Amino acid sequence: MQAVLPMLLALALLGGGAARADDSKRLRIITWSDYVPAEVIADFKKETGIQAEVTLSNNEEIISKLRATGGAGFDLAQPSQDRIVGAQQEFRIYKPFDLSQVRLDQFMPDLLATVRKNATLDGKLYGLPYVWGAEGLVVNSKRAKLADYGDLCRPEYKGKTSIRLRRPVLMAFAFASGKDPFALYGDIKAYSALMESVGRTLIACKPNFRFFFDNKDQALNGVRSGELVAAMMWDSGGWALNRENPDIRFINPKSGAIAWLDTFALPARGKNDAGAYAWINFTMRPAIAAKIAKSIGNFTASKGADELADPRLKAQFKESFPDGFRNVRWYPAIPAGLEEIEGKILDRIKAAD
Amino acid sequence: MPDATSGPAWERRLLLGLLLAPALLWLFALIVLPQIDLALLSFRERVAPREYVASLAQYRTFFAEPLYWHVFVRTAVMSLAATLATLLIAFPVAWTIAKLLRGRLSALLFVVCLIPFWVSETVRTLGWMILLRESGVLPALLAHLGVTAAPVELLYHDATILVGLVYTSLLFMVVPLVSSLESLDNSLIEAAYDLGGSGWSILREIVIPHAAPGITAGCIVVFMLMLGNYLTPTLLGGKSSQWFTEQIYTQFIVRFNWEQGAAFGFLLLALSTSMVWLGLKLSGQRFGDVMRRT
Amino acid sequence: MSAAGTGQDAATHDLDVRGAVKRFADHVAVDQLSFSVARGSFFSILGPSGCGKTTLLRMIAGFIQPDDGEILIGGRSMAGVGPNRRPVNMVFQQLALFPMMSVGDNVAFGLARRGVARAERLRRAQAMLERVGLGGAARKKVDELSGGQRQRVAIARSLVLEPTLLLLDEPLGALDLKLREHMKIELKQLQAAFGTTFVYITHDQSEALVLSDHVGVMNRGRFEQQGTPQQLYYEPATPFVAGFVGANNRIVGRATGVAGAIVSITSEQGWLIRARSATAIAAGTAVEAFVRPEVAVLARAAADLPAGQPAHGGEVESLLFDGANSAVLLRERQSRVEFRIALPQTGQFADLRVGEPIHFSFDPARAVCFPAGVAHA
Ligand SMILES: Nc1ncnc2c1ncn2[C@@H]1O[C@H](COP(=O)(O)OP(=O)(O)OP(=O)(O)O)[C@@H](O)[C@H]1O
Ligand SMILES: [Mg+2]
């Protein structure tokens, strides 16, 4: 009986995309927008004959869709590194990598190490690094001066800022309040109290937010049209806007940008593992990775791709992070149960008047 | 002789059963089974990874956490208000179509009501957003005409949600109203007028009682559409839309909390069922009569 | 044309229509119509379908405005007065009872609109229902009543308001023959009992004749003649009235001789008859003559015919048995003109056979002729 709902949900979510004849000739990827440029798909097809099919999504939807199907429907997924272990423990939606199939020498060793630390369960590795970046503040410097997350709540910016009402904003405001939420991951009680207080801050700040954005385009449009003077957003988005309008800048807030690392993961019931390994090895070649980096506007985990990166992007990175990575926070894996606490806080912020 | 008659009758019933079987199975698989599945889900609680026990915790959370039932009540009240507004706007429109205009003009007005459905709900709602946002067309026009000093944000208000909901569901109110008003014999109105009735008393005593099944049908359909709407309130309402369907979506997709989502789903089902029941009771209608009108 | 419209004191009239005109596009539905209805009388408007009867009645009730002319009710001009403010009530062609209300509420509807208190209006509705013989029906629904009962409810619903004038638009049209006959008598009795002025529309001449004190015969938006039923029947003023009111034999021909009021006519087929002229007719003009079936006398032998009447001969064409209204259809011997004669009630000619030769005659003074084509455009 419990299988009916997942089946139907899966049907609905996949739009009835029933199995096609030759599974080895296609690779179904669920990922973020801009992560898989059309050019790379074409190159991959030319080389291997495999057609990559892309479904755009985000962390929560990746987990939900795979949960609904028990890990079927896709051959490759790209969740953030901190969201793998918890979901795997709870829903068993991934399968571990067979590292003999992966050219590990193509990856930057420190990012590989981060993933090994955060995405290993029962001694098996469930994620490989793909792209990394940070969330900080995008500011229209002509119209606003912000130094930290808390400045989004300054009275003069009432109705002119925006955030995405998801867990990163809770982390950001926790850091801004002078606490380290990651250090409290193990202490549910203290963590709850911290989240409660962050929730209160954000509820008080709610009049300042014009809207809570759901996708990158909505946020970009808000800043571009001038309706927003500042937003908490991804670095790549800020740099894209900066190319259109030099007044708009991505800044590393005083309490630190929060770095994310998105990965490759194998859905538990994917049908084309060989294709997935081929894709991973293909995209981590420095030349291909450079194309991807250009499409996303972020840096990849490919060793040697940085040298090939767009000089403009490098300049933007330098400007936003003058001190390099000294003031950047990396997500540790989320222990189970924390997201429920955060969920209630987020609901409360949403419902507050 | 009993065999001669009962044989074919029995066969006919079997045949009918066989003919209906696929439809019934389909209904069962698509509607009944998922509902049962959801019901079971809503009555369990996660105690540890992959470990669940039967419990009423999901429902308890709903009542214990004010924000959930606040959103629930708000959704119900706003849907109700929007339904009434739709009725008030649709009635004159339906009256014009059914009684005042003939032939081509009446068809034309009907088509006007259909226009919102020529584009998908997403496009329609995004259209509203483009019109109403601060840098959009309408605020610019208002500022230009001097109604407001500077362009104002018309999005993200409760009134905007109401406007969007009414716009989307007008047709579902107009159709049953037109069909019930068309069946109202004009001579009844004339007779009432002749007997001394005024416009208002004729509306109250003759037109509304006659159109009651149509009104009830329209209100039920529109109310359920509004309760179940997701895009319009979330997009037009913005950061404070607080629609209950959004809560359900969040629980299922963002929080992976299917148990809570299922419980919320059931609460919404209970709400719409009880509102329909109440509506029928208040208007003294029978469900079958009303549904024939839709 | 008639004395009813002029010369009398308007105060004794409940209804005065003066030169009313109603046009629909290029079609004139009511054309310069004038008439008056005396207080307490039963006035019928008789005319064929489409002649403008309903249009006239709806102008009186106030649902449509006349393009020209004036309507007075109880001596008061009705210009600009809405239907809900006129002292007139109407019984609709399809009755238009309110199906969403009980019979009692239907009758009490008008009283409620006048602000009569609930208890009082229920009492009055009940009393009215009793007067029309439906004392036990107040709580029933409209669709639980028979056709005749509904008819009475429709009338009671109007009469309870004690209108100056009650307008009835073919109220018996939807009933079957038997019930219609019965309701005719009831209507007459109701009108007598209430004393309300009735203006009654019908295209059935027998209804008009039986019920009315006065009848206006309407054709193409005008009145051809107004008068008592007897006047219309025995002294039709136009060929249309002669043809429309009661059964009549119509003979078309030319005046060949005029002797005072009696005109000699030769029909197109060459049959020679005599008839009284309704207006002055010169010899040689084309005429139409009308002879009522009951005016002619039958005889097996020419000698048995009344003396002093021109004798005619013919053959039985067919027998039209209809009880008391039985008739024989025959053909004049030479001209083969068809002619209808009522059979006497005595049963004297019950044994007539088709093809049998027969003699007949009629009093020329009781036949009437008109110049052809007048008022017939
Ligand atoms: N609203 C209208 N618009 C146009 N023409 C009309 C309208 N009402 C009536 N007529 C025309 O006026 C003429 C008279 O119509 P009316 O209904 O008065 O006839 P009537 O004598 O009542 O006929 P019946 O005995 O069939 O009821 C008809 O030719 C009809 O077509
Ligand atoms: Mg008529």
For residue C41 and ligand 1, the question of a CB distance below 6 A is answered with: no
Chain B residues closer than 8 Å to C157 by CB: 195
Q: Do A67 and B256 touch (CB under 8 A)?
A: yes
Nearest by CB to A336, which of B49, B135, B258?
B49
Query: Quick check: is B20 in a domain?
Result: no
Q: Do A351 and B254 touch (CB under 8 A)?
A: no
| Residues C219 and C268 grouped into a single domain | no
Q: The domain containing residue B199 runs over which residues?
A: 58-291
Place of tokens 């962390």: A59
Chain B residues closer than 8 Å to A1 by CB: 33, 36-37, 40
What is the chain C residue with the closest CA to B191?
A: C96
How many beta-carbon contacts under 8 Å exist across A and B? Answer: 82
Chain C contact probe: residue of B188, B189, B195 with most C CBs at under 10 A: B195
Distance CA C26, CA C92 (A): 27
Q: Do A90 and B256 touch (CB under 8 A)?
A: yes
Q: Is pLDDT above 90 for A182?
A: yes
Q: Which chains touch B (3 or more CB pairs under 8 A)?
A: A, C
* pLDDT number for residue B3: 47
What is the chain B residue with the closest CA to A223?
A: B135
Alpha helices in C92-199 (DSSP H): 103-113, 118-131, 147-159, 177-194
More confident residue, B194 or B118: B194
Q: Which of A76, A108, A24 is nearest to A280 (CA)?
A: A76
Nearest by CB to A343, which of B36, B41, B255?
B255
Radius of gyration over every alpha carbon of chain C, rounded to an integer in angstroms: 24
| For residues A247-269, average pLDDT | 95
* pLDDT number for residue B165: 93
More confident residue, B49 or C135: C135
pLDDT one-digit tens code per residue, C273-314: 999 998 888 888 999 999 999 999 999 988 888 988 899 999
Distance CA B157, CA B119 (A): 24
pLDDT one-digit tens code per residue, C254-279: 999 998 889 999 999 999 999 999 88
pLDDT one-digit tens code per residue, B147-179: 888 888 888 888 999 999 999 899 999 999 999
* pLDDT number for residue A335: 84
CATH 3.40.190.10 positions along chain A are 23-131+260-311, 133-258+330-351
The CATH number corresponding to A133-258+330-351 among 3.40.190.10, 3.30.70.100, 2.170.120.12, 3.20.20.120 equals 3.40.190.10
User: Which residues 6+ apart lie within 8 Å of A230 measured at CB?
Assistant: A137, A138, A139, A140, A144, A146, A151, A152, A157, A160, A161, A223
Looking at C190, C216, C241, the residue that finishes a domain is C241
Looking at C241, C258, C282, the residue that finishes a domain is C241
* pLDDT number for residue C7: 41
Amino acid at A13: L
Residue A12 pLDDT grade (very low, low, confident, very high; cuts 50, 70, 90): low
Are the C-beta atoms of residues B193 and C84 closer than 8 Å to each other? yes
Share of chain B above pLDDT 70, in %: 96
For residue C53 and ligand 1, the question of a CB distance below 6 A is answered with: yes
Task: Give residue ranges of A with CB < 8 Å to any B CB.
Answer: 1-2, 4-5, 8, 60-61, 63-64, 67, 87, 89-92, 159, 165-166, 206, 209-212, 225-227, 336, 339-340, 343-344, 347-348, 350-353
Question: Tokens for B273?
Answer: 């069922």
- Secondary structure in 3-state letters for chain A: CCCHHHHHHHHHHHCCCCCCCCHHHEEEEEECCCCCCHHHHHHHHHHHCCEEEEEECCHHHHHHHHHHHCCCCCCEECCEHHHCHHHHHHHCCEECCCHHHCCHHHECHHHHHHHHHHCEECCEECCEEEEEEEEEEEEECCCCCCCCHHHHHCHHHCCCEEECCCHHHHHHHHHHCCCCHHHHCCCHHHHHHHHHHHHHHHHHHHHHEEEECCCHHHHHHHHHHCCCCEEEEEHHHHHHHHHHCCCEEEECCCCCEEEEEEEEEEECCCCCHHHHHHHHHHHCCHHHHHHHHHHHCCEECECCHHHHCCHHHHHHHHHHCCCCCCCEEECCCCCCCHHHHHHHHHHHHHHCC
Chain C residues closer than 8 Å to B187 by CB: 92-94, 96
* pLDDT number for residue A7: 54
Q: Do C96 and B209 touch (CB under 8 A)?
A: no
Chain B residues closer than 8 Å to C109 by CB: 192, 195, 197, 205
Q: How far is CA B214 from CA B84, B112, B186, C159, C231, in A?
A: 14, 20, 17, 33, 55
Q: In 10 A of CB A12, how many CB atoms?
A: 10
Alpha-carbon dihedral A32, A33, A34, A37, rounded to 10 degrees: 90
User: Residue C105: which CATH number?
Assistant: 3.40.50.300
Q: Which atom of ligand 1 is nearest to the CA of C203?
A: 25
Report the half-sphere exposure of B53 (CA within 13 A, side-chain side): 5
Distance CA C365, CA B55 (A): 108
Distance CA C174, CA A135 (A): 83
User: How many whole angstroms from C272 Cα to the centroid of ligand 1?
Assistant: 41
Query: Quick check: is C351 in a domain?
Result: yes
| Closest residue to atom 5 of ligand 1, CA basis | C24
| Residues C19 and C155 grouped into a single domain | yes
Which residues have C-beta under 5 Å from ligand 2, the single-atom ion? C 54
Query: Quick check: is B173 in a domain?
Result: yes
* pLDDT number for residue B126: 86
| For residues A119-132, average pLDDT | 95
Widest CA span in chain A: 60
Q: Which of C340, C247, C249 is nearest to C291 (CA)?
A: C249
How buried is C259 (Cβ within 10 angstroms: 0-12 exposed, 13-18 middle, 19+ buried)?
A: exposed
For residue C51 and ligand 1, the question of a CB distance below 6 A is answered with: yes
Kindly tell me whether chain C and chain B come into contact, counting contact as 3+ Cβ pairs under 8 Å.
Answer: yes
User: How many whole angstroms from C300 Cα to the centroid of ligand 1?
Assistant: 49
For residue C50 and ligand 1, the question of a CB distance below 6 A is answered with: yes
Distance CA C176, CA B162 (A): 56
DSSP result, B88-135: HHHHHHHHIIIII--HHHHHHHHHHHHGGGGS-HHHHHHHHHHHHSTT
For residue C26 and ligand 1, the question of a CB distance below 6 A is answered with: no
* pLDDT number for residue B283: 81
Q: Do B239 and A227 touch (CB under 8 A)?
A: no
* pLDDT number for residue C8: 47
SS3 C50: coil
User: How many whole angstroms from C24 Cα to the centroid of ligand 1?
Assistant: 9
Q: What is the ipTM of this complex?
A: 0.81
User: Residue C281: which CATH number?
Assistant: 2.40.50.100
User: How many whole angstroms from C202 Cα to the centroid of ligand 2?
Assistant: 8
Kindly tell me whether chain A and chain C come into contact, counting contact as 3+ Cβ pairs under 8 Å.
Answer: no
When mean pLDDT is compared across A97-101, B75-79, C123-127, C130-134, the lowest value belongs to C130-134
Q: How far is CA B249 from CA A223, B27, B158, B260, in A?
A: 27, 24, 20, 10
Looking at C221, C241, C261, the residue that finishes a domain is C241
* pLDDT number for residue A9: 53
Helix or strand holding residue C15 (H, E): strand C13-24
pLDDT one-digit tens code per residue, C80-98: 999 999 999 999 988 999 9
Q: Is pLDDT above 70 for B227?
A: yes
When mean pLDDT is compared across A194-198, A202-206, A244-248, B135-139, the lowest value belongs to B135-139
Q: Do A5 and B37 touch (CB under 8 A)?
A: yes
Q: The domain containing residue C300 runs over which residues?
A: 247-371
Residue B11 pLDDT grade (very low, low, confident, very high; cuts 50, 70, 90): confident
Distance between A121 CA and the closest CA of chain B, angstroms: 14
| For residues A159-169, average pLDDT | 94
Q: Give bridge partners of residue C266 from the DSSP assignment.
A: C254, C272
Q: Considering its fold, how many domains does chain C have in total?
A: 2
* pLDDT, averaged across chain A: 90
B187/C contact by beta carbon, under 8 A: yes
| For residues B222-250, average pLDDT | 90
| For residues A246-270, average pLDDT | 95
User: Residue B72: which CATH number?
Assistant: 1.10.3720.10
pLDDT one-digit tens code per residue, C29-50: 999 999 999 999 999 999 999 9
Distance CA A200, CA A206 (A): 10
For the domain spanning A23-131+260-311, the CATH number is 3.40.190.10
| For residues B83-88, average pLDDT | 96
Query: Quick check: is B148 in a domain?
Result: yes
User: How many whole angstroms from C55 Cα to the centroid of ligand 1?
Assistant: 6
| Residues C220 and C298 grouped into a single domain | no
Q: Which of A133, A132, A163 is nearest to A146 (CA)?
A: A163
| For residues C43-63, average pLDDT | 94
* pLDDT number for residue C177: 85
* pLDDT number for residue C377: 38
Query: Quick check: is B63 in a domain?
Result: yes
Q: Which of A325, A329, A350 is nearest to A171 (CA)?
A: A329
Query: Quick check: is C327 in a domain?
Result: yes
Nearest by CB to A225, which of B135, B156, B252?
B135
Phi-psi category of A251—alpha, beta or left, where left has phi over 0 and alpha has psi -120 to 50? beta
Which of C21, C24, C45 has the most ligand 1 atoms within 8 A of CB, as the residue to mutate? Answer: C24
| For residues C15-41, average pLDDT | 94
| For residues C338-342, average pLDDT | 94
Residue C172 pLDDT grade (very low, low, confident, very high; cuts 50, 70, 90): confident
* pLDDT, averaged across chain C: 90
| For residues C102-107, average pLDDT | 96
| For residues C46-65, average pLDDT | 94
For residue C49 and ligand 1, the question of a CB distance below 6 A is answered with: yes
Distance CA C205, CA C48 (A): 10
Are the C-beta atoms of residues A301 and A127 closer than 8 Å to each other? no
Q: Give bridge partners of residue B53 from the DSSP assignment.
A: B45
Q: How far is CA B78 from CA A4, B153, B241, C285, C304, in A?
A: 33, 21, 11, 86, 97
Q: Considering its fold, how many domains does chain B have in total?
A: 1
Q: Which chains touch C (3 or more CB pairs under 8 A)?
A: B
Q: Is pLDDT above 70 for B107?
A: yes
Angle of helix A286-296 relative to helix A273-283, nearest 10 degrees, comes to: 80
Residue C165 pLDDT grade (very low, low, confident, very high; cuts 50, 70, 90): very high
Distance CA A324, CA A270 (A): 38
Q: Which atom of ligand 1 is nearest to the CA of C55?
A: 18
Nearest by CB to B195, which of C93, C99, C161?
C161
For residue C345 and ligand 1, the question of a CB distance below 6 A is answered with: no
Are the C-beta atoms of residues B149 and B230 closer than 8 Å to each other? no
B291/C contact by beta carbon, under 8 A: no
Q: Do A210 and B250 touch (CB under 8 A)?
A: no
Residue C18 pLDDT grade (very low, low, confident, very high; cuts 50, 70, 90): very high
Are the C-beta atoms of residues A163 and A169 closer than 8 Å to each other? yes
Are the C-beta atoms of residues A236 and A138 closer than 8 Å to each other? no
pLDDT one-digit tens code per residue, A316-331: 999 999 887 788 899 9
Q: Is pLDDT above 60 for C5?
A: no
Q: Is pLDDT above 60 for A135?
A: yes
Query: Quick check: is B11 in a domain?
Result: no
What is the chain C residue with the closest CA to B185?
A: C96
SS3 C167: strand
Q: Is pLDDT above 70 for A265?
A: yes
